[in-house]
Amino acid sequence: MPVVNLRPSLLSRIFPERALDEIIEKLPYLGLDIEGFDKTNDKIKIEFNPNRPDFSSENGIVRALKGILNGELGCPTIQDLHPSSSLIRVDGQLKDVRPIIYGLIAKRDFPINDEELTQLISMQEDLQNGLGRKRKKSSIGLHNYDALTFPLSYKGVSRQIKFMPLDGKKEYSLDNILTDFDVGKKYGHILEKFDIVPILLDSKDNVISFPPIINGNTTKVDLLTSNLFIEVTSVNSKSAKDILSILSFELSDMGFDLYSLMVDSPFYGEIVTPILEPHRIHLDFDYVNKILGLKLTHDEILVCLQRSRCEGLDKGKGQLECIIPSYRIDLFDKVDVSEEVAIGYGIFNLGPLYPATYFPGRKNSQSIIFDKVRDILIGLGFMEIINPNVISKNLVKDVFLEDDHSDKNLVSLGDSKNTEFELLRNSLIPSLIYTFSNNIHEKYPQKLFEIGKTFSTTNNEIRENWSLCVSIAHNTTDYTEIKSNLESFMRYCFNAFVTTPRYDTAYFLPGHSARIFLKDDVIGEIGEIHPQVLDNLNLRTLITIFEFNLSGVVEILKLDQIRIV
């Protein structure tokens, strides 16, 4: 989850009548997780959910706090959005590359300070990573407005064009930037399938941005900058609109006057940005009460919405119109409005209710059968172990004595972060033998069993089966002992008889292994583990084992239905 730093001193300044502890206690009730509180550095580290990018700044959090602390109710408004004649022209060649650009101008009498600049840049990063999907969908450029001249031109150009990138010492070609700069390497893939790439030029043909990679150096924002130009380029107009809305409210909270500008695009005509119209959702007052389990009056619901920094209108006949500020991009359905009411009402005020409708609960038949399987095995003296379904190739190789994974039916994991997890196991035998190898200092005899899933492929699809594996390790265990256990288990658990025709496999001692048949079906295998396998795992004790397909047995014996009598 993304993180934002909040200054407790700022909270005390904004809410002078409240104790700091009381304010901090409210943060979780806005859906914020307090990760750390560093008093000496005046810092509360907060995690926010990705659906609330407006929480990526202190101002965004304060805006919401003001609502639930009754400081300010209803939709926050932007002081003034002045119209302006500034224009950005969009080049038709960018249709498939990155067709959308939105922007705004923010002016103030005094320059931006260090704290504000840090907040803006951190917010820019969060927005580009989240809503911007790591700049693939949208990216943001912050510029010194006074260092450029309108109209701007958003154009598709060849990679040979040169300009001086942000903090660069000289001019580089776009190609150089993509191949040599860190940001180019990191985000260049976004442009890789296009011959032409987007740049933003001012009226004097200065390159002010190479989206979504890097800004030009001429419009660099520093602590002398008091007027800003902000552009968002995107492949998705909703994403661009949302990001610019969130930035608009942030800049307005910082005391900037906002000026709109005109985008002239061959794709969507002339459009004035930022687009800060609140959106509206219509629903029944009753729906809110029903979904929350409350009996609030219409007026109470309207106040709850205001405390969540929305507005509600009672449209009569039980109809509610909810007005939502444009930076709240997470609200688009009546359930979202209901949650805002709940947060405005205070989640801690929601007492528990206990549903009265009767349901006869029961375990599923498989759990019931597996429990009985466990009972019998425990009675025979076996201890249950559980292992992961994902295992390493090396273990499979060591136990099944196969050099290449010739078994085409194996399923493997793409890109695992742990080498011990590479395959979905198609047998429980390797994990069980591995377990013995980890317990060589424990008392023998060791008798273990596991019930687990095994995986194989048929016709491009994956098949999952429950499997049972039972094994004995001690110095004199042999085929007779393990088969006696198999027959006892089948008899006591299922009243079933198995046959075991001879069958040799690489990992069993030749002549000491068999397949297990139930009725006419092969269900598994049984035998004495081959000394080479024991040697591979540094085991100095004999092991005998059987494994069979438990799902198959359940099917063959038609156990998959609960029969009480």
- Cβ proximity to other proteins, 257 vs 487, nearer residue: 487
CB 65, min distance to other proteins, A: 14
Q: Pick the closer one to other proteins by CB: 51 or 93.
A: 51
Taking the C-alpha atoms of residue 231 and residue 90, their distance in angstroms, rounded to an integer, is 13
The least CB distance from residue 502 to other proteins, in Å, is 30
CB of 234 to other proteins, least distance (A): 11
Nearer to other proteins, 31 or 168 (CB): 31
Minimal distance in Å, beta carbon 272 to other proteins? 20
Pairing of strands 498-499, 138-144: unpaired
H-run or E-run covering 291: helix 285-292
For residue 115, give every residue at least 6 positions away whose Cβ sits within 8 Å of its Cβ, in sequence order, or none.
none
- Got the DSSP string for 170-207? S-EEHHHHHHHSHHHHHHGGGGTT-SSEEEEE-TT--E
Q: Any idea which residue has 């109470």 for tokens? A: 300
d(CA 433, CA 5): 50
Please name the residues in contact with 83: beta carbons below 8 A apart, sequence gap of 6 or more: 259, 260, 272
In the complex with other proteins, which residue's Cβ is closer, 107 or 453? 453
Closer of 130 and 141 to other proteins (Cβ): 130
| Distance from C-alpha of 352 to C-alpha of 299, rounded to nearest angstrom | 23
For other proteins, the closer of residues 410 and 556 by Cβ is 410
**423 vs 498, which CB is nearer to other proteins?**
423
Least Å distance, CB 516 to other proteins, is 21
Smallest gap, in angstroms, from Cβ of residue 160 to other proteins?
A: 31
Considering the complex, state which of residue 85 and residue 418 has its C-beta at the smaller distance from other proteins.
418
Which of 255, 379 has the CB closer to other proteins? 379
Q: How far is the CB of 187 from other proteins (least distance, A)?
A: 15
Closest CA to 339 of 291, 286, 300: 291
For the beta carbon of residue 9, count every other beta carbon within 10 angstroms.
11
- Can you tell me whether residue 209 is helix, strand or coil? strand
Closest to 467 measured CA to CA, from 482, 454, 483, 449 = 454
Q: The tokens of 252 are what?
A: 């307005």
- Closest contact distance (angstroms) between CB of 308 and other proteins is 10
Question: CB 97: neighbour CB atoms within 10 A?
Answer: 19
Nearest distance, CB of residue 344 and other proteins, angstroms? 11
Q: Which is nearer to other proteins, 200 or 240 (CB)?
A: 240
Distance in angstroms (rounded) separating the CA atoms of residues 447 and 472: 5
Cβ 530 vs Cβ 507: under 8 Å: yes
Dihedral of alpha carbons 151, 155, 160, 165, sign: positive
Beta bridge partners of 424: 390, 411
CA 337 – CA 312 distance, rounded (Å): 10
Least distance CB 136 / other proteins (angstroms): 7
Comparing CB distances to other proteins, the nearer of 127 and 343 is 343
Q: Give the other-Cβ count within 10 Å of 123's Cβ.
A: 25
Length of the chain: 565
> What is the rounded CA–CA span in Å between residue 296 and residue 123?
37
- Rounded least distance, CB 409 to other proteins, Å: 8
SS3 category, 271: strand
